[in-house]
Amino acid sequence: MSNKQKKKMTSVQQEYQSLAKAREPGRPVLKNMVRAFIAGGIICIIAQGVSDFFLWNFDFTEKTVGNPTVAVMILLSVILTSLGIYDHIAQWAGAGTAVPVTGFANSMASAAIEHRSEGFVLGVGGKMFKLAGSVIVFGVFAAFVIALVRTILSMLGGA
């Protein structure tokens, strides 16, 4: 809480805030980090297994195997979200399930499932991008900035 907000509080409110803060249980940061690391690692191991499966059993190369692997990971995430399993994994693992592809697919699918009663266009189509829209915007912006920096560096290096 900022100092400006504290100044607006009465002495009773300030006393209550300090009492509440003293009784608030601590967060198990180390345990959460280990869980996130394990869950993210398992998701990445599964993706590597899918990638290896495509490399060994189909005519893919190291360059071309990425797209089908991402598609399968998105499909798995959407299936687990629709069955309600991904939510249980996410509650246990926390940020470990935010591995970009699966976390993004989960956010899209869960928003679509939650708003399906409002119809396909205004419910599923409109609300699906409510949460994911910010990810898309920041992703596009980050890609633009990186491309701009790379272009400037290549112009300086080539000149």
Confidence of residue 139 (pLDDT cuts 50, 70, 90): confident
- 7 occurs within a structural domain: no
- 10 occurs within a structural domain: no
Torsion of CA 113, 115, 120, 122, to 10 degrees: -150
Give the whole-angstrom CA distance, residue 41 versus residue 49: 12
- 65 occurs within a structural domain: yes
Q: For residue 65, what pLDDT is reported?
A: 95
- 150 occurs within a structural domain: yes
**Region at 84 (left for phi over 0; alpha for psi -120 to 50; beta for the rest):** left
- 131 occurs within a structural domain: yes
pLDDT tens readout for residues 7-63:
678 888 888 888 888 888 888 999 999 999 999 999 999 999 999 999 999 989 999
Give the containing element (helix H, strand E) for 45.
helix 29-57
**Average pLDDT estimate for 99-108:** 80
pLDDT tens readout for residues 112-133:
777 777 776 666 767 677 766 7
- 24 occurs within a structural domain: no
Q: Which domain holds residue 146?
A: 30-156
- 22 occurs within a structural domain: no
Q: For residue 101, what pLDDT is reported?
A: 83
Q: For residue 128, what pLDDT is reported?
A: 72
CB distance 69 to 50 below 8 Å: yes
- 2 occurs within a structural domain: no
Number of domains making up the chain: 1
